[in-house]
Structure 1
Amino acid sequence: MRILGNILWIICGGFISWLSWIITGCLWCITIVGIPVGLQCFKLASISLNPFGKEIESNPGCFSFLLNVIWFFAGGIELAFINFVLGCLLSITIVGIPFGMQFFKIAAISLMPFGATVHRVHFA
């Protein structure tokens, strides 16, 4: 079921979210100072491509807070807005609500991605 959800996710806008994370990561990696930010964008692009079966755990620290403040104004608002709009569009129908909820999850992490780790959920 997770595989089917992820395939439908890519069709229903997951590719757009993934592409926006990849482009943002590439732009951050142009400078040496931005490489840690770009690497975090690439990590979060993985959850944008297949979010079903993954969860986000946040462990913020002092350095993460500083990077999140810079990130909020330098890329977070745009990525959160894209994911929020896609989530709203998909939540209009009953069938699209699970996909919309995943977009809202990604929009929330788009605002403060540092200190967050992505974990695969294993079902027994």
Structure 2
Amino acid sequence: MRTIGNILWFLFGGVFMGLAWWLAGVLCILTIICIPWAKSCFVIGTFTFFPFGKDAVKRNELTFKDDIGTGALGMIGNVVWFIFAGIWLAIGHLTAAVACFCTIIGIPFGIQHIKLALISLAPIGQTIVKKY
């Protein structure tokens, strides 16, 4: 079922948002200062191409420790990301979610877009894991 969901997702819009993430990554590389965000863009962009069967979680949830997090620099990085790229990617995902919610078949895709919109607001400190 995941494979069918991923194929339908990719064909009916996932490719566009994945490319938007990769475009943000390329722009981050061109500015040189934003190279740390570029890796996140490419990882989340790949996740955006095929999101079913994977999930984004906070890094400290994987280790069950409260002391491992993004820290002050990560929080500052997320604020900078939110201002320059995160809000725009979130708007793209929310627009796609509204379009998906117009059909009954598109509801699972709309839910995935909302999850991706939340990730796009603050990607630092997130990691992608497979669901079992």
TM-score (norm 1): 0.94
**1:75 counterpart residue number:** 85
Q: What percentage of residue pairs aligned between the two structures are identical?
A: 39
Pairwise CA RMSD of aligned residues? 1.0
**Correspondences of 1:91-102 after superposition (within 5 Å):** 91-102=101-112
Distance 1:58 1:4 in 2: 27
Distance in structure 1 (CA, Å) of the matches to 2:82 and 2:113: 18
SS in structure 1 of the partner of residue 26 of structure 2 = helix
- Which 4+ runs in 1 deviate beyond 2 A? none
What does residue range 1-124 of structure 1 map to in structure 2 within 5 Å? Answer: 1-59=1-59, 60-62=69-71, 63-122=73-132
Q: Which amino acid aligns with 1:7?
A: I
Q: Can you give the 5+ residue segments of structure 2 that lack an aligned partner in the other structure?
A: 60-68
- Residue deviations 1:65-121 (CA, integer Å, cap 9, x gap): 111000000100100000000011101111100000001110110100000000011
Deviation of 1:32 after TM superposition, in Å, equals: 2.5
- 2:26 maps to amino acid: C
**Structure 1 residue 58: Cα displacement:** 1.6
User: 2:33 and 2:83 mapped to 1: Cα distance?
Assistant: 16
Structure 1 residues 53-62 or 21-30, which shifts more?
53-62
The alignment's TM-score, normalised by the length of structure 2, stands at 0.89
Aligned residue identity for 2:114:
F
Q: Measure, in 1, the Cα distance between the counterparts of 2:119 and 2:74.
A: 13
* Cα offsets for 1:37-58 (capped at 9, x unmatched): 1111001011100000001102
**Secondary structure of the equivalent of 2:30?**
coil
